[in-house]
Amino acid sequence: MSDGLRVASLAVRPVKSLRGVEVERVALDRLGPRGDRRWMVVDLEGATVTARELPAMLGITARPLVGGVELTARDRAPLVVHEPHGGERVPVTLSRVGEATACGPEADAWLSDALARPVRLVWLDDPARRSVSLDHGGRPGDPLSLADAAPVHLTTTASLAALNRWLADEQGHAPLPMERFRPTLVVDGDLEPFAEDRWSRVRVGDVVLRFAERCDRCVMTTVDLDTLRTGSEPTRTLARHRREDGKVWFGVRLVPEQAGELVVGAPVEPLP
């Protein structure tokens, strides 16, 4: 069944691996939600720093602003970082990027202090430089921000409800919030769990998105967003129910077929 589907929530995460914010609406283009994953934290050699190895990153929130981003964290003053047009280009190691623009010493110092290690903040000045890999369902001309594999990540409340039932019944575990999975778009309605795995295209309001691939899950989903400590769930339970090809799966990655706007409450329709 897939009747009465709607957008339950939307989120934008401007900085790769930092927490983002929920929004009521967001402009969407071929690159994904406007402002999403245009910034990244790197070490002094240009290697990407993520919450996979540094869970403390999930204690920092990045809020999109017009022409910039605001960084906030507990017990420190917020910092507004402007898009560094014309700034220093620095080499980065993230696949298919090559280089990005440095955001300057103030941003570097704020993040280095918050994360207790020397890091830099960089900005993807030219989104056309990177594309969705063919290995991840990309086609020629599909642009990609600093996201891992695709512009949009979709999950459903039905799939999370199924996972939380398994967690409760098998582990006596409290329900997990959807934010553990960092989706762009959450769909609610009369839907079988994991039905999204079988969608080839989906219309969200007036926008059509193409299925790229299912989303394999990494250790970031195991970080408790309150304590910032890593546990064993949901990976352990997903491995019992959703393991295939040596990976565990939850949610799907999508590529927008055209520009438009995503709005909470908009109808959602799977397409052939």
pLDDT along the chain (272 residues), means of 10: 84 98 96 95 98 96 97 96 96 94 98 98 90 90 93 98 97 96 97 97 97 96 96 97 96 97 98 90
pLDDT at 127: 82
pLDDT at 1: 41
Instruction: Give me the residue spans of the domains in the chain.
Output: 2-271
pLDDT at 129: 84
Q: Is the CB of residue 18 less than 8 Å from the CB of residue 78?
A: no
SS3 content of the chain, % helix, strand, coil (to 5): 20, 40, 40
For residues 57, 20, 178 and 233, what is the CA-based torsion angle, rounded to 10 degrees? -10
**Cα distance between residue 266 and residue 181, in whole Å:** 21
- Amino acid identity for residue 196 in this structure: E
Radius of gyration of the chain, Cα coordinates, nearest whole angstrom = 18
**Cα distance between residue 166 and residue 172, in whole Å:** 9
**pTM, 2 dp:** 0.94
pLDDT at 3: 65
pLDDT at 272: 85
Class of the 2-271 domain? Answer: mainly beta
* Residues facing residue 71 across a β-bridge: 62, 79
